[in-house]
Amino acid sequence: MKRISEYFGYLSDLFFYTAASLLAVLFTERGLFPLASLSLAGAALFLFRRNRRRDGSFSPAALFALGLIGGEGIACLKLSRLSTARTKETWLSFYLAYLLFYLCYYAVRGIRAGEKEGEGRENALYPDGEERERRLSFYRISILSLLALSLSCFLFEAWRLRFIPLFTVNTPHAYSYFHLPAIHYFTTLYVLLPSVAALYRRELGRKSPLALFGALFPLFLSILLVSRFQFLFSLLLLLFSLLLLGERLSRGRLLLLFFGALSVYVLITIERAHSIRYLNGIFEMKYHLPIFLSQPYIYIANNYDNFNEMTLHLREHSHGMKLLYPFLTLSGIKYFFTFPLAWPDFVTKKELTTLSILYDSWYDFGLFGVALFSCLLASVSALFHSLSGRNPFGVLFRAQLSFYLLFSFFTTWFSNPAVWFYLLATALLYFAFQRFCLSRGERGEGEVQLGEGRKS
């Protein structure tokens, strides 16, 4: 009976999602954009709550619903003149993306649950004795190594390029120019530092100057680089890591964190030298909205419009070259062999180049590419969701994946070499910890139950 009840729950989720998607199409065709938006936004919240209750706060199915379907709901408002009529390929792509993700995710989760049935659980986040000392030493070395590597590469880039973005005048895209091939990947490794510092602080059990510096250093470097994304990425990775470790942050601390982050975000925005008149001219809003509403709206909605532009104007698919780009770049193969990599992006406006997570999969293979990508993403998400065990660096994998799913409306994450570089760096830390901090008999044993943490 329990299994039948579970299947009924899955079917009811998909029925509700399908009905909401059909209503959104019908409302949009009749120009009832607010109702179309409410249909998809309601479906996103419904699926978020259902999957969160079923699978935990950081359920990939919940986060992907909130990011992809919720973003599509916002895009259905059509508050900008840049929005165009949706093609059937656009509607079908986003509908199938979540449908297949949902089905594959729970299928793989079911298989994994069967494999793990009967295995014991143990709390290994607080070991004693010799192992604890090895772990603390590993955390210190990791933090200092990331600090030294990131800072030295930043200083080298500043020396070679003869400028630091924060200290430029009237240069809106200074961060885009602050980039040396290969070197910049190491400069931005600081985004992992706050999460590693959180692991160290939790293991240590008390405040530490090294952990504090590791958490604050990314803030300092993000301001020097005037990079809003790097700042928010490192901050949210820290927050996600803390929550995955079971920390329960008080409302006061969350409010303090929010207003502090907002202040830094505004400061970086000012330093990027983008005037409000300039931004409003690009956004082409139908109504006079304050910039703190129009900018987030465009950063979400226009990505769906860019996808729609591609389905309208793409004449030749890239046959895997877009999704293979990170491998060709990080391996260096593209420097020795010639590949067709110069594929134009189809966007509503040349200044608005952010894309949704599905953009490159459609560019490569059309609807089949979207389906294949969604199934692969779901399978990996299911594997990562159960990744914990005695190795706390599994939390960093889950935190990164959670970020990419929640912000799936924003860009083609997995076509970005930097994303894979961060994952590779995390894998290096994960396997190094496995090798040097765990005894042979302890590696891979048990699984930690996360999310049961304490009030702080």
pLDDT tens figures, 79-109: 998 888 999 999 999 999 999 999 999 999 8
Residue-level pLDDT at 187: 92
For 455, other C-beta atoms within 10 Å of its C-beta total 7
Q: For residues 100 and 376, what is the distance between their CA atoms, to the nearest angstrom?
A: 10
Does any domain span residue 233? yes
| Listed range (18-32, 133-147, 326-340, 432-446) with the worst mean pLDDT | 432-446
| Listed range (76-90, 102-116, 134-148) with the worst mean pLDDT | 102-116
User: Does the structure show a pLDDT above 60 at 441?
Assistant: no
Q: What is the mean pLDDT of residues 242-265?
A: 80
User: Considering only CA atoms, which of 403, 384, 406 is closest in space to residue 395?
Assistant: 384
Does any domain span residue 236? yes
Full domain range(s) for residue 174: 131-271
Residue-level pLDDT at 36: 96
Does any domain span residue 191? yes
Residue-level pLDDT at 86: 92
Domains: count for the chain: 1
pLDDT tens figures, 405-415: 999 998 888 98
Does any domain span residue 259? yes
Q: What is the mean pLDDT of residues 156-165?
A: 90
Top pLDDT among 8 and 388 is at 8
User: Does the structure show a pLDDT above 80 at 447?
Assistant: no
pTM: 0.89
User: Does the structure show a pLDDT above 50 at 456?
Assistant: no
Residue-level pLDDT at 442: 54
Residue-level pLDDT at 312: 93
Does any domain span residue 224? yes
User: Does the structure show a pLDDT above 90 at 331?
Assistant: no
| Listed range (56-60, 301-305, 356-360) with the worst mean pLDDT | 56-60
Q: For residues 304 and 34, what is the distance between their CA atoms, to the nearest angstrom?
A: 16
User: Does the structure show a pLDDT above 90 at 270?
Assistant: no
Does any domain span residue 178? yes
| Listed range (136-150, 194-208, 366-380) with the worst mean pLDDT | 194-208
Top pLDDT among 206 and 90 is at 90
Please write down the HEC assignment for all residues of the chain: CHHHHHHHHHHHHHHHHHHHHHHHHHHHHCCCHHHHHHHHHHHHHHHHHHHHHHHCCCCHHHHHHHHHHHHHHHHCCCCECCCCCCCHHHHHHHHHHHHHHHHHHHHHHHHHHHHHCCCCCCCCCCCCHHHHHHHHHHHHHHHHHHHHHHHHHHHHHHHHHCCCHHHCCCCCCHHHHCCCCCHHHHHHHHHHHHHHHHHHHHHHCCCCHHHHHHHHHHHHHHHHHCCHHHHHHHHHHHHHHHHHCCCECCHHHHHHHHHHHHHHHHHHHHHCCCCHHHHHHHHCECCCCCHHHHHHHHHHHHHHHHHHHHHHHCCCCCCCHHHHHHHHHHCCHHHCCCCCCCCCCCCCCCCCCCCCCCHHHHHHHCHHHHHHHHHHHHHHHHHHHCCCCCCCCHHHHHHHHHHHHHCCCCCCHHHCHHHHHHHHHHHHHHHHHHHHHCCCCCCCCCCCCCCCCCEC
Q: What is the mean pLDDT of residues 252-267?
A: 78
User: Does the structure show a pLDDT above 50 at 346?
Assistant: yes
Does any domain span residue 380? no
Q: For residues 436 and 422, what is the distance between their CA atoms, to the nearest angstrom?
A: 21
Does any domain span residue 427? no
Q: What is the mean pLDDT of residues 434-441?
A: 72
User: Considering only CA atoms, which of 439, 442, 359, 455 is closest in space to residue 122?
Assistant: 442
